[in-house]
Structure 1
Amino acid sequence: MMDDKKKGISALGIADEEGKSGGGFAVADSFGILIRHYRMKVKDLSLKQLEELSQVSSSYINRLERGEKTSPSLPVVFSLAESLEIPYSVLMATLFQTSESNEQPSISDVLIQSNFVLNNQELSKEARSTLIRINEFLVDCKWNAETKVKELYMLSEMLDEFKAAI
């Protein structure tokens, strides 16, 4: 199935997995954040597990998530979408910074797909990623008598990371 996609898309001149070819396209920072979010929080997969599912090398996926690679081929994008069970439309909307869905997005989705300004300065990818982790931590924490002190400490550590990133 992926071979058919590769053949059909090769005529578009899109870059291959290693970014070779003249006609690649650059992806938004939110693409890597979205892939990492789905891999870790939604599907609970390691890089190696995602490599086995998608047939995309774990080092390449890691570089996409960190924003070091910005021109994946469409077959790579489709393979990651299939492996992570992300609708193509969601992934493509993230690629091109548009979202035309009528669904109510989660806070994480909004943080992933949108650029924000804080004190008249756009948040960096690192700051946005930390903000997403803070949001997910708040949703997941138990916040009871036994865990409150530890969770408050962990939250303060993440806030320190966020402040350092902005």
Structure 2
Amino acid sequence: MKEERSVNENFSSMILYLRKKKNMSLREVSDVTGIDPAYIHKLEKGKRTSPSYPIIEKLALAYGVDTVDLLEVSSNNSGRSTVSLGQLLLSNNFTVDGVDDFSPSAKKALLDLIDLIVSFTWDKESMFEDIYEAMHAIDDLKQELYG
């Protein structure tokens, strides 16, 4: 019996994220790639799970990302272990909204902000205090990024 090929479950979220980040409609992506908008929609919703290499390549080009990166997200390589977000961020280079150079201290400030947000109880009694703490953590991150 033939094993069915499918992409990683994160692929649909990634291509939807990239399309939204580029502020493109399904029709605009279709115009650029030649891929039917209904098919793109099904990929984004996880209803189609086996796009071909040319489809992934066209989407990567439309979204301005390396084909290799999109292929990596699509991979169902079950041999990979789960890593902490800290390990992932500190051991890789990445870009956020055009900021290409995240120094180790900027990465730490980003992790501190994420850890802070996760730790919030976010109830009526602590919400304003949580917001105040988040503002300081955001300021620390911005200082690391832009001086």
User: Which residue of structure 2 aligns with residue 53 of structure 1?
Assistant: 32
User: Which residue of structure 1 aligns with residue 140 of structure 2?
Assistant: none
Greater radius of gyration (CA): 2
* C-alpha distance in 2 between matches for 1:103 and 1:60: 32
Q: Which runs of 5+ in 2 are unaligned?
A: 81-87, 97-113, 118-130, 132-147
Write out the 4+ residue segments of structure 1 that deviate beyond 4 Å after TM superposition.
Answer: 97-102
- Secondary structure at 2:35's aligned position in 1? coil
Could you tell me which of 1, 4, 12 is aligned with 1:32? 12
Q: What is the TM-score normalised by the length of structure 2?
A: 0.51
Q: What is the TM-score normalised by the length of structure 1?
A: 0.45
- Secondary structure at 1:59's aligned position in 2? helix
Residue 70 of structure 2 is aligned to residue 91 of structure 1: yes
* C-alpha distance in 1 between matches for 2:26 and 2:73: 21
Show CA shifts across 1:85-124 (max 9, x none).
11112101101156999633479xxxxxxxxxxxxxxxxx
State the aligned residue count: 88
* One-letter amino acid of the counterpart of residue 86, structure 1: V
* C-alpha distance in 2 between matches for 1:24 and 1:71: 8
* C-alpha distance in 2 between matches for 1:24 and 1:78: 21
* C-alpha distance in 1 between matches for 2:92 and 2:66: 13
* C-alpha distance in 1 between matches for 2:76 and 2:50: 15
* C-alpha distance in 1 between matches for 2:64 and 2:32: 11
Change (3 A) 1:23 1:84: farther
Q: Which runs of 5+ in 1 are unaligned?
A: 1-21, 108-134, 139-151, 153-166
Residue 41 of structure 2 is aligned to residue 62 of structure 1: yes
* One-letter amino acid of the counterpart of residue 37, structure 1: Y
- Secondary structure at 2:40's aligned position in 1? helix
Partners of 1:53 and 1:83 within 8 A in 2 = yes
* C-alpha distance in 2 between matches for 1:90 and 1:32: 14
Map 1:99-110 to 2 at 5 A: 103-105=92-94
State the identity %: 24
